[in-house]
Structure 1
Amino acid sequence: MASLITREQLENFALQGLSFADDHVGDPFSIKDVSDRLGISYSYFYHNFAQYMGEPFWHYVKRHRLELAAGLLRHSGYNIGEISDLCGYATTAAFSKAFKQHFKESPKDFRQIIILPNEKRTLQITESITAALGPDAFNGLFNYERCEKVKLPDSILYYSLISRGQDPVTEMIARMTQYYNLFKKMQTLYDLPQSRIITGTLDAVPVTNYERLSMFAGILIPVQAIAAHIQLQQNFGYLMTKRITGGNYLKLPVPMDFATAGVPMYNFISMNCKEGIFKMSGNHFFISMNGPSYSEIYIPQLKKHY
């Protein structure tokens, strides 16, 4: 079987498996569910995923769920039981046990940590880049008072991972133009004025180790655009998909490209969440790329903090 399948197809099987796991974080499923969906055998998928991703599939699923849970502990207003349910654990006790095994801290104690080890590194990188851009680079742009409260519809994200490796952000910047052009053509071809070309990460920043971050570029399309979804599924089956819950978001417009906007974005989110100015409803914040020098940051908000 392997001789009949190209390296590109092998990569796509692994990435589609990763996509399925990310899109079903809170749902019960098995490896066989994934392999059946891909139309390949259990053992073939199992070995292919481990070979391509560098870790067994179920190890990735468990790590990903726990890291997303840690992100919710940091930035959301959910209680531990709610986070346990959102991340696919049958009981809070099972979640707490798995969490402590992975992070060496209970969920309650983890929530009290002021600065995480990975966060220190993120802040150092942010500060160094900010300093290089000059003291007036952001000039008060990342200010809660500039945010607009908006409602987004339930949508589906069609995306590609554009970096996974030792320096994911640098790789993302280097490859973004080709993907932006692809999604821009799709907007025109399928007449999608309500869609957004976005970028972000599938992971929880700063919980996930920087070298493991999965950065994406994609096109976000409202669920009700049924005809467009049919066409995209027929013609762009290689793209990964993710359901993005609609609802309350904060929108922060910034007159800069996505790469520059990404530098202070995390610090803005982290500071406001720690101070209780807002709380997030999930880890799925993203940057909408509206032009070469204009971006919009979207942050999902809990209704009770909206």
Structure 2
Amino acid sequence: MSPLLTKEQLENFALQGLSYADDHVSDPFSIKDVSERLGISYSYFYHNFTECMGEPFWHYVKRHRLELAAGLLRHSGYNIGEISDHCGYATTAAFSKAFKQHFKESPKDFRRIIILPNEKRTLQITEGITAAIGSEAFRGLFNYERCEKMRMPDSILYYTLISRGQDPVAEMIARMTQHYTLFKKMQTLFDLEQSRIITGTLDAVPVTDYEKLSMFAGILIPATATAAHAQLRQNFSYLMRKRISGGNYLKLPVPMDFATAGIPMYNFISMNCKEGVFKMSGNHFFISLNGPNYSEIFIPLLKKHY
């Protein structure tokens, strides 16, 4: 590996590894699989990821899978065995053991917790950041009767992390305009009529520590739009990629920007899942940015709640 690589290039290798782990959360893979895909040595990838991300790659993979599992325990209707499969564990016993080591609670006991320590802290921090935007005035818009049930196609998300670590929500708000402008230009340049500019987090809110949240902005394109995918991969190879499952979704339109929508969106999801109004099929809920003061919330549903 050339010693002349820039810091930005080194960080991109680490981010591509992170992206691979997130996109293959239910699949078995090794560090060697990732390093070979990136065209670098095992040792180089291992040390570079640790230096750039602040934790070893396999530590990130395990933490990410368990945190996503916790999110599914929180908001989905899956049983523990199904969640184990979704998060890449060969057996339910292995998953339950790893989960208890990480969270100090069994999956069954964790599901009974009403308010998590990270939940309270994350929401307090985020509310403090977004309070000046006036989210309280819009809470009445977040009700189930305003939702539209719809089918979404299997899609691919091309994205970049706009904030990671330290103060991710504040950084996301500060940087979103430039990223939105970039993706809007891409839509126009490549005539991506079926695409959506979206934002969200790769993590399980609010299970992940606030300081470790990875907030993204990206462009979501149906998997069948083969010409568009070829263009983006050729012209924007630095973007990370993630498969987003299609299926049944709730769509909730709200006349506000993404930052204002964030807290009431989470409270809306949490309340309805706790009350059994609906259950989610995964952690991939997101906000679609349809303009400076208009957003749409997309929530993946279990089939029986559609």
How does the TM-score come out when normalised to structure 1? 0.97
Q: Give the equivalent residue in structure 1 for 2:107.
A: 107
**In structure 2, how many angstroms separate the alpha carbons of the residues matched to 1:181 and 1:49?**
29
After superposition, the Cα gap between the structure-2 partners of 1:128 and 1:43, relative to the gap in structure 1 and judged at 3 Å, is closer
User: Which position in structure 1 is the counterpart of 2:23?
Assistant: 23
The answer on 1:168 being equivalent to 2:168 is yes
Count of matched residue pairs: 306
Q: % of aligned pairs identical? A: 86
What is the alpha-carbon distance in structure 1 between the residues aligned to residue 105 and residue 135 of structure 2? 38
- Distance in 2 separating the partners of 1:37 and 1:160: 19
Deviation at 1:6, TM superposition (A): 1.3
Q: Which residue of 2 aligns with 1:205?
A: 205
Match of 1:53 in 2: 53
- 1:264 is displaced (CA, Å) by 1.3
Q: What residue in structure 2 maps to residue 72 of structure 1? A: 72
Return the offset for 1:282.
0.3
Local SS of the residue matching 1:295 = strand
Contact in 1 for aligned 2:130/2:260 (Cα 8 Å): no
CA distance in 2, matches of 1:201, 1:180: 16
Q: C-alpha displacement at 1:130, in angstroms?
A: 7.2
Other structure's SS at 1:78 match: coil
Structure 2 CA distance for aligned equivalents of residues 185 and 132 of structure 1: 30
Query: Partner of 2:221: helix, strand, or coil?
Result: strand
Q: Distance in 2 between matches of 1:104 and 1:26?
A: 23
Separation in 1 of the partners of 2:92 and 2:111? 15
Q: CA RMSD in A?
A: 1.4
Residue of structure 2 in register with 1:299 after alignment: 299
Query: Are 2:289 and 1:271 equivalent residues in the alignment?
Result: no
CA–CA distance in 1 between the matches of 2:131 and 2:262?
15
- CA, structure 1 residues 130+45, in 2 after alignment: closer, same or farther (shift >3 Å)? closer
Q: Structure 1 residues 12, 126: closer, same or farther in 2, change over 3 A?
A: closer
- For residue 226 of structure 1, what is the aligned residue in structure 2? 226
SS in 1 for 2:142: coil
Q: Equivalent residue for 1:236?
A: 236
The whole-number CA distance in structure 2 between the counterparts of 1:169 and 1:127 is: 10
Task: State the alpha-carbon separation in 2 of the partners of residues 261 and 123 from structure 1.
Answer: 13
- Return the offset for 1:263: 2.3
Unaligned runs of 5+ in 2: none
Assess, with a 3 A threshold, how the Cα gap between structure 1 residues 231 and 251 changes in structure 2: closer, same or farther.
same
Change (3 A) 1:12 1:181: same
Task: Go from structure 1 to structure 2 and tell me whether the alpha carbon gap of 1:35 and 1:116 turns closer, same or farther (over 3 Å shift).
Answer: same
Is the Cα–Cα contact under 8 Å of residues 180 and 197 in structure 1 kept in the other structure? yes
Tell me, in whole angstroms, the C-alpha distance in 1 between the residues paired with 2:126 and 2:27: 35
Cα deviation for residue 129 of structure 1 reads 6.1
Q: Return closer, same or farther for 1:113/1:295 CA change in 2, 3 Å cut-off.
A: same
The 2-side partners of 1:90 and 1:192 are apart by: 39
TM-score by length of 2: 0.97
CA distance in 2, matches of 1:21, 1:142: 33
Q: Matches of 2:139 and 2:163 in 1, distance apart?
A: 30
Unmatched tracts of structure 1, length 5 or more: none
How big is the shift at 1:140?
Answer: 1.0
